[in-house]
């Protein structure tokens, strides 16, 4: 090696930048902590298969830790939860500082792509009872065929009472499935077509039964046999489907993936990986130096519209409620404008088989820590809030000081496609917002994959953000 070579090595080490793999950066005993943490995370995934279930579990974890319903008024420990329509959860830890200083917010979403049942779902065809679905969010339809599905949801009866239903998660439960065509007969109707034309929303019908009612005088004996089952077991009539929200999700539990068990494979890690890590981070901060909050929003996967989505006035409404609860004079818009937010959502990790869709210098990589995404959107940065360099600089300092393994990631090649998060709806209030979450393989599929090291560093990142001052 010449003197010149030695010199250049030093310069690259001094002022160059290379990403770190989390497994190369483990502290003593950290691997055990990571695996334990991910055990709890998998349990959370297993009981939180819908937005309603996630909200319920977030709130019961909060109650266990002394959080009180904000509707009960001010409390001594400053720990509050709010359950909005069973579909948004907010956790707050107030430390006595004026809210006008601004809030430190981590905001994730509790909804995930799935198949909803239509309002008139039940019919029969060729002596099989079937249920019509309407997919929710961005799915690749073929991934939902010929696989075990579980039914979760609620029926609301005309007297306002709610019947909850979960079928397909217990080992002894039956499951549901959508049939796919056998390869022997799919040459013309599937294989010669474009992928976007092969699978049709109206053919995503759930097989729900095949034993008819005994009385041959009855009409629709196969359909009505399913209806009688629902009537006998849940007291339901066919009309009750009209006021129901029933979701088909992949049946089964989150699992470790790989010989080394270094990854978690599960449905709905987008975005429940950020939900779980944000919740734990908020719980685990010792003495918050600022007022810290976690928002768990609904409807992100369908564009955040609706009264439980982020593109609503909910944030303003809730902040007003927060001010009222502690008796602080002030305006919600002022509080929000002074706030800082990590938009806690996942990013797509570089796919080893389809590297071409990514721009490798700026793609998030599995195992390289929590991913910070300065902007999302598509094309020429359309529909994104694009965080400022100043806020990125602040977040960078916080993460580096706390020893968080993190990377910057952009969703794909510029002209390849794109996507958005709830960041822009929070940014609309004037606060600083940046996207920050775990990178996933097979994102939006029924079996999303995350690195346990990345999950852990997502938790560490949110906790460091909460612990840092404004």
Kindly list the residues in this chain that would bind Mn ion in the complex (CB under 5 A): 270-271, 345
Distances (CA, A) of 470 to 12, 80, 333, 340, 417: 33, 21, 18, 8, 35
- Cβ-in-10-Å burial (0-12, 13-18, 19+) of 223 comes to buried
Cβ proximity to Mn ion: between 132 and 299 the closer is 299
Cβ proximity to Mn ion: between 271 and 432 the closer is 271
Cβ proximity to Mn ion: between 124 and 345 the closer is 345
CB 37 within 8 A of CB 459: yes
Cβ proximity to Mn ion: between 131 and 274 the closer is 274
Tell me the C-alpha distance between 178 and 114, whole Å.
13
DSSP conformational letter for 277: H
Of all residues in the shown chain, the one whose CB is closest to Mn ion is: 271
Give the SS3 label for residue 458: helix
Least distance in Å: CB of 348 to Mn ion? Answer: 10
Least distance in Å: CB of 200 to Mn ion? Answer: 22
Least distance in Å: CB of 345 to Mn ion? Answer: 4
Distances (CA, A) of 121 to 132, 134, 224, 328: 5, 10, 13, 50
Cβ atoms within 10 Å, residue 81: 22
Tell me the C-alpha distance between 67 and 232, whole Å.
39
Cβ proximity to Mn ion: between 124 and 271 the closer is 271
Cβ proximity to Mn ion: between 222 and 426 the closer is 426
CB crowding 383-421: b at 16 or more within 10 Å, else e? ebbbbeeebbebbbebbeeeebbbbebbbbeeeeebbbb
Tokens of 38: 């991910």
Least distance in Å: CB of 6 to Mn ion? Answer: 47
Least distance in Å: CB of 206 to Mn ion? Answer: 23
């Amino acid at each position: 090696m010449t003197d010149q070579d030695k010199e250049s090595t030093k310069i690259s080490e001094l002022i160059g930048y290379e990403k770190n793999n989390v497994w190369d950066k483990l502290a003593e005993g950290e691997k055990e902590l990571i695996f334990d943490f991910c055990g709890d995370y998998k349990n959370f995934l297993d009981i939180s298969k819908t937005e309603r279930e996630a909200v319920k579990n977030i709130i019961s974890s909060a109650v266990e830790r002394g959080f009180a319903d904000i509707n009960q008024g001010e409390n001594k420990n400053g720990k509050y939860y709010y359950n909005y329509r069973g579909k948004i959860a907010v956790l707050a830890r107030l430390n006595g500082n004026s809210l006008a200083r601004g809030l430190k917010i981590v905001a994730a979403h509790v909804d995930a792509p799935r198949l909803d049942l239509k309002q008139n779902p039940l019919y029969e065809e060729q002596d099989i009872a079937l249920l019509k679905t309407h997919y929710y969010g961005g799915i690749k339809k073929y991934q939902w065929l010929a696989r075990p599905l579980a039914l979760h949801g609620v029926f609301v009866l005309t007297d306002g009472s709610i019947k909850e239903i979960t079928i397909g998660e217990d080992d002894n439960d039956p499951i549901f499935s959508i049939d796919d065509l056998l390869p022997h007969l799919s040459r013309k109707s599937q294989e010669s077509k474009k992928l976007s034309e092969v699978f049709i929303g109206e053919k995503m019908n759930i097989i729900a039964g095949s034993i008819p009612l005994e009385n041959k005088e009855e009409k629709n004996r196969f359909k009505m046999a399913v209806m009688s089952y629902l009537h006998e077991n849940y007291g339901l009539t066919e009309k009750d489907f009209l006021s129901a929200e029933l979701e088909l999700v992949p049946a089964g539990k989150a699992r470790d993936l790989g010989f080394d068990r270094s990854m978690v494979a599960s449905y709905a890690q987008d975005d429940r990986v950020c939900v779980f890590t944000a919740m734990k981070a908020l719980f685990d901060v010792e003495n918050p130096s600022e007022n810290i909050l976690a928002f768990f929003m609904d409807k992100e996967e369908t564009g955040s519209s609706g009264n439980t989505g982020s593109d609503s006035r909910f944030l303003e409404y809730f902040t007003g409620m927060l001010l009222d609860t502690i008796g602080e004079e002030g305006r919600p818009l002022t509080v929000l404008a002074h706030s800082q937010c990590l938009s806690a959502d996942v990013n797509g990790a570089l796919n080893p088989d389809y590297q071409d869709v990514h721009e490798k210098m700026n793609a998030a990589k599995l195992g390289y820590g929590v991913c910070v995404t300065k902007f999302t959107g598509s094309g020429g940065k359309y529909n994104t809030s694009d965080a400022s360099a100043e806020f990125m600089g602040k977040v960078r300092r916080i993460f580096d000081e706390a020893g968080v393994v993190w990377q910057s990631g952009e969703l794909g090649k510029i002209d390849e496609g794109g996507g958005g998060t709830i960041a822009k709806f929070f940014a609309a209030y004037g606060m600083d917002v940046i996207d920050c979450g775990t990178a996933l393989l097979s994102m939006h599929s029924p079996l999303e994959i995350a690195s346990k090291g990345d999950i852990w560093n997502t938790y560490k990142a949110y906790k460091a953000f909460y612990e840092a001052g404004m």
